[in-house]
Amino acid sequence: MKLKPVSMKVFADAQEEAHIVLARIMAGLAPGEHVMRLGVDMEGQERPLCATLPLTVEGIGSPDDLVGAEPKLLDNFAFLLSCGLAQTLCCGVMYLRSPSTEPGGAATVQAWHLAWGVLNECTASEAAELIGDGAQAEFVDAPGVHSEDDGDHEAVYPPVAYTVL
């Protein structure tokens, strides 16, 4: 694979955005076992590059819950997301599979679409169309990962939402 060159500033901004996106998603997770997947299709690639990030949330559904992730997998996931955000000719899909909040219920799936260096949330119907392929899951609208004032944030994962497995 040969990526188009980007400035160190562009890549640093993409890395910061990737960490902010992951922190926002992780902060909203309910207790249980979750899995995030990311596929990024880069110009000149035959197949998309993929990353998987298992997450374990321990707690009672409060802001003090702890989110555990294997550091290598977290770093790889954040790096691939950073590459997709920095390379504007990339496209991809990131999705989160979470356990049902109801006993015996289907898992829920939320998705985000990466295009032109921007990650945007998908509606439930868009998520089902992008990744459905017969999956036994309930597709739900994904929350936005950007705020009106992205200048007011923590640069890395919030301490209450990150532990090492």
Question: Per the confidence metrics, is the pTM higher than 0.75?
Answer: yes
Quick count: other Cβ atoms within 10 Å of Cβ 28?
A: 14
* Pairing of the two strands 163-164 and 66-69: parallel
Please state which of the ranges 73-77, 92-96, 102-106 shows the lowest mean pLDDT. 102-106
Helical H segments across 37-134, by residue range: 71-86, 124-131
In this structure, are residues 35 and 57 in contact, taking their beta carbons and an 8 Å threshold? no
CA distance 62 to 17: 24
Higher pLDDT, 150 or 133: 133
Give the three-class secondary structure for 113.
strand
Higher pLDDT, 46 or 123: 123
Q: What is the pLDDT of residue 156?
A: 40
Overall average pLDDT of the 52-58 stretch: 96
Nearest alpha carbon to residue 81 among 54, 112, 109, 122: 112
Domains of the chain, residue spans: 8-164
Overall average pLDDT of the 147-163 stretch: 43
Q: What is the pLDDT of residue 163?
A: 44
In this structure, are residues 40 and 88 in contact, taking their beta carbons and an 8 Å threshold? no
Beta strands in the chain (DSSP E): 32-41, 49-58, 66-69, 91-98, 107-115, 118-121, 137-139, 163-164
**DSSP secondary structure letters along 90-108:** -EEEEEEEE--SSTTPPEE
Overall average pLDDT of the 124-152 stretch: 78
Higher pLDDT, 127 or 64: 127
Give the mean pLDDT of the chain. Answer: 84
Distance from the Cα of residue 82 to its chain's centroid: 11
